[in-house]
Amino acid sequence: MALGDNPDREGLRETPERVARMYEEVFEGMNYTNHEIAQMFCKTFEEEKDVFQGKNDMVVVRDIEIFSYCEHHIALMYDMKVTVAYIPNKKVIGLSKIARVAEMVGKRLQLQERIGTDIAEIMEEITGSGDIAVLIEGSHSCMTARGIKNTNAKTYTTTLRGRFESEPELYLRIK
C-alpha cells in the first residue's frame, strides 16, 4: 500500500508469507551465538605426526562466497569473498566446516567488520588456535544500487589474531 500498489492483487497476495519464509532462511544465523555455531561445526581431526611440523605451516581457504544483509538498510544485501587462515594447534577442522562457519555468520544483520571478528572467534574456539586471519572483500548494495551507485566499489576488512597480527610476513603469505 505504501508503494501505491494493490496488496490484494494476485502477484502480491502471498508476498508477506514469502518474505517471512525468506527472512527465516537468510537470517538463520541470528538464532545462534558464536559458541553455538562453533559447536555445530566442530568437526576436527588430530594432526598426524608428519603434518604441520613447521612453525609457519598454515591452512588457508580462499574465495568462500557468502552474502549478508546490512543492518543499516536491511533490504540491501552484500556479496563477499572470505579467506580464512589459521595455524593449527594439534588439530585441524574439516575444510567444508570453515565455509559453513562463514556462511552461518553471514546469515545475520550486521556490518562486514563484525563478520570477520565473529568468524575469527568461532575458528579459535573450534581449532584451539589463537593464530587466525579472516580477510573479506565485499560488494555492498548500499553503495552499488543506491546512493552513490558506484558499481565497482569494494570494501576490504582484515581480522588478524595471534601471530598473524604480530608477524606481518604471515599475513603477507595469505594476502
Residue type, position 93, single letter: I
CA distance linking residue 135 with residue 6, whole number of Å: 45
**Which has the closest alpha carbon to 40: 115, 134, 131, 125?**
125
Give yes or no for a contact between 134 and 119, defined as CB atoms under 8 angstroms apart. Answer: yes
28, 47, 73, 165: the active-site residue: 73
**Which has the closest alpha carbon to 28: 119, 113, 123, 105?**
105
Q: Clarify whether 35 is annotated catalytic.
A: no
24, 36, 65, 71: the active-site residue: 71
Q: Clarify whether 73 is annotated catalytic.
A: yes
Q: Clarify whether 42 is annotated catalytic.
A: no
103, 112, 121, 124: the active-site residue: 112
CA angle 65, 110, 105 (to 5 degrees): 45
28, 47, 142, 167: the active-site residue: 142
Q: Which residues are catalytic?
A: 70-73, 112, 140, 142
